[in-house]
Amino acid sequence: MKVLKKIGVIGAGQMGNGIAHVCALAGYDVKLNDISEDRIKTGLANINGNMQRQVSKALISESDRQTALNRIVPAVTFGDLTDCDLVIESASEKEDVKKKIFGELSQIMPKDALLASNTSSISITRLGSSTDRPEKFIGIHFMNPVPLMELVELVRGIATDEDTFETSKEFVNRLQKTYAVAEDFPAFIVNRILLPMINEAIYTLYEGVGSVEAIDKAMKLGANHPMGPLQLADFIGLDTVLSVMQVLHEGLADSKYRPCPLLVKYVEAGWLGRKTKRGFYDYRGEKPVPTR
């Protein structure tokens, strides 16, 4: 197996900075990249804040926090990633964006470097085919929020070799997370089950069966879910929810995966959830208020 020492992460948003966070705490040197230096700085600030919360809860020590933060450095360009043993892409859930990233990486990364995608739904085989090393390409799908969630889905493309697979399993183990192996079908395991449930909750709202508050209360108290499906949709990002449902609908050609028209309207309005301060709840005040 390849020995991993330095990890590159493309995307400093909620998922990317979470991946960098857990890699640094596990002892890896990390390079964090995004399309602008400001985004990288914001990502690093979020990592610092999240680690401080872990210190306050006695999950890690102050020394652990300082050591981990010192392991993460900005990578302003893809060229800064060329000494990484593994690069994990965590950009927006758009296939053309991801393929462009992997096409550029293929031209500059050493031939033995592994490439991975944190995609939550897109074919690993197709993404791998956009690289010069499909045998060294794999899906490593973290759950959100990364520092708190134990599961990682490992997804092999049709060309992914055994060495890449075994190296990825060892990587996840070192992060002190648990992997589930998923076949390369649209949305894999977790989102194949979770996102249609959220989409159905949105249909329930769209058809007037219940209000935002009633639907979330029903699932929290009636199904013992820690978070209502509409609240969870806002946390994930309604644009991501829509993207995954589109992948499911197109990839499996089954009408049960048709995105709810109300979900489409919210995304068209730019009401994407917590990150834009409005979604199924309005987050601009002291307390979230349902928007429907």
DSSP characters over 32-91: EE-SSHHHHHHHHHHHHHHHHHHHHTTSS-HHHHHHHHHHEEEE-SGGGGTT-SEEEE--
Can you give the length of the chain in residues? 292
According to DSSP, residue 219 is labeled: H
Pairing of strands 29-33, 6-10: parallel
Q: Which amino acid, one-letter code, is at 14?
A: Q
Side-chain half-sphere exposure of 254, counting CA atoms within 13 A: 8
Write the secondary structure of 240-270 as one string of H (helix), E (strand) and C (coil): HHHHHHHHHHHHHCCHHHCCCHHHHHHHHCC
> What gap in Å lies between CA 153 and CA 23, rounded to an integer?
16
Q: Which residues are catalytic?
A: 120, 141, 153, 191
Are 3 and 85 a contacting pair, CB within 8 Å? yes
Query: What is the torsional sign of CA 37, 38, 42, 43?
Result: negative
Residue in this structure with the two tokens 């995304």, named with its chain if needed: 267
| Cα 43 → chain centroid | 14
Sole residue written with tokens 């929810």: 241
Within 10 angstroms of residue 73's Cβ, the number of other Cβ atoms is 13
